[in-house]
Structure 1
Amino acid sequence: MKKGTGIFIIIALVLLVLGLSIQTTVQPSDARVIVDHTKKVYSAPECFDQADLSNYLEEVTYGYAIDLGYEAESSCTTEATKGERKSLLVSWFQ
């Protein structure tokens, strides 16, 4: 084995271990939510039945609702849209 090849393998293994051990929070920016434009809040679909919303509703992505500056309608919605902890390497390939 050449010296350069051995160093390359060691660096690749170190990067692989770091990528699997560093944890990051992945936000569901493309998840669908219901926004209430009157109250300027958003609700997760599974929390919609309990939500106190008006009639000015639209289905958008979670990322768009955050860009609008809307707040979560309830703790149910906050919990449903909470980010998921994953390793850095796994989050890059999803």
Structure 2
Amino acid sequence: MKRITIFVLCLLVVVTGLFAIKVETSPPASTRIILEHTHQTYITPPCYEQAQKTNNLSEADLQKAKDLNYKPESSCTEDSLKPIKQPIAYDLAEKLGLKPSGWGW
């Protein structure tokens, strides 16, 4: 009985820690963005309407934009890709595909 109590208490501490301790999470390399080839910039979908863009666009992921050395089109794009602090459990759920990413636009 004492072992079960210790096990349950340990489990409770671990579960509480998963939701109480926050970690900084950055957008994954696979985050969908729009490349603006004329100005060699990239735009996130939430910032598309107010972006300064031409019709020389293509869809890609954040890794491709970094590989091309493209810059964020505006502070809106920069801000939308800033790391966020979230509980370890949420970060783990995103990585396991159980919860949509904060950048899943």
TM-score, structure 1 length as denominator? 0.73
- Cα distance in 1, alignment partners of residues 52 and 91 from structure 2: 34
Aligned equivalents of 2:3 and 2:64: distance in 1?
A: 48
Question: Aligned AA for 1:35?
Answer: L
| Residue 17 (structure 1) aligns with | 16
**1:40-93 C-alpha deviation (Å, 9 max, x unpaired):** 321112322332334442211234434544321101111222333321112211
Name 2:58's counterpart in structure 1. Answer: 58
Query: Where do residues 1-94 of structure 1 align in structure 2 (5 Å cutoff)?
Result: 1=1, 3-29=2-28, 30-93=30-93, 94=99
Q: Distance in 1 between matches of 2:84 and 2:70?
A: 21
What secondary structure is seen at the aligned counterpart in 1 of 2:86?
Answer: strand
What SS is found at the alignment partner of 1:50? coil
Question: Which blocks of at least 5 consecutive residues in structure 1 are unaligned?
Answer: none
Query: Which protein is bigger by CA-based radius of gyration?
Result: 1
Q: What RMSD in Å do the two structures reach over aligned CA positions?
A: 2.3
Q: Which runs of 5+ in 2 are unaligned?
A: 94-98, 100-105
Identity over aligned residues, as a percent? 32
Describe the shift of the 1:68–1:8 C-alpha distance in structure 2 as closer, same or farther (beyond 3 A): farther
State how far apart, in whole Å, the 2-side matches of 1:37 and 1:75 are.
18
Deviation at 1:38, TM superposition (A): 4.4
Aligned pairs, how many? 93
